[in-house]
Structure 1
Amino acid sequence: MDEIISALLSEDATPQDFAALRLPESYRGAVVRKEDTGMFDGMDSADKDPRKSLHLQDVPVPLPSAGEALVAVMASSVNYNTVWSSIFEPLSTFGFLERYARRSAAAARHDQPYHVLGSDLAGVVLRTGPGVNRWKPGDRVVAHCLSVELESADGHGDTMLDPEQRIWGFETNFGGLAQIALVKSNQL
């Protein structure tokens, strides 16, 4: 991570420098764990303490698949998706991750015993997957939370109508409350 941080802070780093960076095997992220989903059972919402379910944990770096980008996170924030995820309410996010995993081999990577939270970020692109043409390593980006497949014509005119829309970092894994995040390139 030190190499990546140095490049991020450098005013002279080029796209080629970012593309040549060695990716770490793992990175640190704010996660909830599948094994903890029942920890608040029977408690009133007001009594559920996110500090008890949120953990800082090293997780393996996912490589970008088609249409995805791996981003070094420079800023993110806690929002209602993070709070809901951390108190497993109204539903545990692990159900969303399991459902998404059944969609494809690339989506199967999202079904893990941990969930890296965070539905927004500002950062710098480290890698892109096949089919990503607009974004390159070194590009400074922000990501919005709407993750869409755009395979159905229903979403072509308005992505909010895509039947496969999800909230990144809530219904998908590898969110922005981490050193590195995985996003769809159309979120950038």
Structure 2
Amino acid sequence: MQRILDAIMASQEDEQSAATGDFANLEIPDHYRAATVHKDEVDMFEGMSTKEKDPRKSLHVEDVALPELGPGEALVAVMASAINYNTVWTSIFEPVSTFGFLERYGRLSPLTKRHDLPYHVVGSDLAGVVLRTGPGVTKWQPGTEVVAHCLSVELEEPDGHDDTMLDPQQR
């Protein structure tokens, strides 16, 4: 991880660093540290009021496997993130558990099946630097600084073409 951080910091000082392939040649670890919730704990707050549900009891900090990049995806070194209402709702499994969404998404294709796991990495907004890109990514390359948010839309249904919030696959 330190080599990734060093490359990012060096690119801040020398803007040509990203263009020389420094990021594309970095060794990427096979795991990373993440805050997660676990599928087998979804019912841990059953019968409690919202105010009684304590996210500290459901959140875990652990190493998780780095996912394989799929088409249209990018691997980003997260430099800043925040806790927002999505994170809090995920951690108290309210108003619904995110695992239901991930299970349905996992049924769409063999590629999306990778998201149906016994854990969910929390977080929905970030700023960081692209380390790798999957097939079909053309606007970003290793070294690109990005900001991301939680909206995911496949746009395979016509309903979402005018307003992505209306897409039936919007997550």
Bin for the TM-score computed over the shorter chain:
over 0.9
Q: Counterpart of 1:47?
A: 52
The amino acid across from 2:72 in the alignment is G
Q: Does structure 1 residue 104 correspond to structure 2 residue 109?
A: yes
Q: Does structure 1 residue 35 correspond to structure 2 residue 47?
A: no
Normalised to the residue count of structure 1, the TM-score between the two structures is 0.85
Q: Does structure 1 residue 14 correspond to structure 2 residue 18?
A: yes
Question: How far does the alpha carbon of each residue in 1:91-137 deviate from its partner, in whole angstroms, 9 at most, with x for none?
Answer: 11111111110011111111111100111000000111111101101
Q: Counterpart of 1:59?
A: 64
Structure 2 CA distance for aligned equivalents of residues 40 and 144 of structure 1: 28
The amino acid across from 1:47 in the alignment is E
The amino acid across from 1:8 in the alignment is I
Q: Counterpart of 1:155?
A: 160
Alignment of 1:70-149 (within 5 A): 70-149=75-154
Task: Give the share of equivalent positions with the same residue, in percent.
Answer: 66
Equivalent residue pairs, number: 166
Structure 1 runs of 4+ with >6 Å offset:
none
Secondary structure at the aligned position of 1:125 is classed as strand
Normalised to the residue count of structure 2, the TM-score between the two structures is 0.93
Q: Does structure 1 residue 5 correspond to structure 2 residue 5?
A: yes
Shift of 1:162: 1.9
Structure 2 CA distance for aligned equivalents of residues 68 and 44 of structure 1: 38
Give the structure, 1 or 2, with the largest relative contact order (CA under 8 Å, sep 6 or more): 1
Q: Over aligned residue pairs, what C-alpha RMSD do you find? A: 1.1
Which structure 2 residue ranges, 5 or more long, are not aligned?
none
